[in-house]
Amino acid sequence: MACMDGKKCSVWMFLPLVFTLFTSAGLWIVYFIAVEDNKILPLSVPDRKPGPKRPPYISIAGDAPPASCVFSQVMNMAAFLALVVAVLRFIQLKPKVLTPWLNISGLVALCLASFGMTLLGNFQLSNDEEIHNVGTSLTFGFGTLACWIQSALTLKINLKNEGRKAGIPRVALSASITLCVVLYFILMAQGIHMHASRIQWGLVMCFLCYFGTFAVEFRHYRFEIICSEYQENFLSFSESLSEASEYQTDQV
């Protein structure tokens, strides 16, 4: 498959894009279902009005059926795809990185954020608020940390001399995510729920856009699982994938 620059591109570039589009579309479907069922106020309402409707936080939108069923499915699929992207990103950078602890930290942070997504999706706010809040903390906390780590790795390693092309937008998105997290908790603590819910939606969309930027590097690489008879000196699974992963776009 050819890219816009005329070079070959790996089909793996679509994985982070599918994650971004699928998850964002799924969450907005949850929102519109909850609005149609009069469970939450629309985001366009200027101020919270008294009544049975609740502010449009994502967790509240996905709190009751049928929206909760869609929310659980979306979050479980998102967690799985995020975990796959995290592992492939780790394998991609492993042969290039000079500070392995930073790459490992990025993998661990993304894995914990993915686990937090499963808690968000499977433990609704009204059913088990404590576990749901743990999932929120894992997703937002380790997700923000992972964004900064991946931004640093992008600029430091400079894959295919595209470090600045991908790194600068990632730094900007990381800063936006951090700002949204701070504003979200401040507004929550002050009880300004309509603005806090809008900030939360913006925060999640920034997260999803960040994941979509991994398509820039993934378009240069292919990932293969190699099945071979066991040997004493056989390379480890991750080492085998690392050596087989680089996609040579300069060879036809």
Side-chain-facing half-sphere of 209: CA atoms under 13 Å: 15
Q: Give residue 8's pLDDT.
A: 77
Q: Give residue 252's pLDDT.
A: 27
Strand partners, 54: 40
How far is the C-alpha of 68 from the C-alpha of 63, rounded, in Å? 5
pTM confidence score? 0.85
Choose among 126, 114, 67: nearest CA to 89: 114
How far is the C-alpha of 97 from the C-alpha of 101, rounded, in Å? 9
In the numeric block, which tokens belong to residue 235?
Answer: 């390379």
Written as one string, the DSSP assignment of 58-76 is HHHHTSSTTHHHHHHHHHH
Q: Quick one: three-class SS letters along 7-45? A: CECCHHHHHHHHHHHHHHHHHHHHHHHHHHCCCECCCCC
Return the sign of the alpha-carbon dihedral for residues 224, 11, 95, 211.
negative
| DSSP class of 234 | P
In the numeric block, which tokens belong to residue 252?
Answer: 């036809």
Helix (H, G, I), strand (E, B) or coil at 192: coil
Q: Give residue 237's pLDDT.
A: 47
Question: Which residues of the chain, if any, have pLDDT below 50?
Answer: 234-235, 237-252
Residues 13 and 219: beta-carbon distance below 8 Å:
yes
Q: Give residue 3's pLDDT.
A: 64
Strand partners, 246: 221
Q: Give residue 47's pLDDT.
A: 67
Return the sign of the alpha-carbon dihedral for residues 53, 57, 63, 69.
positive
Cα 122 from chain centroid (whole Å): 18
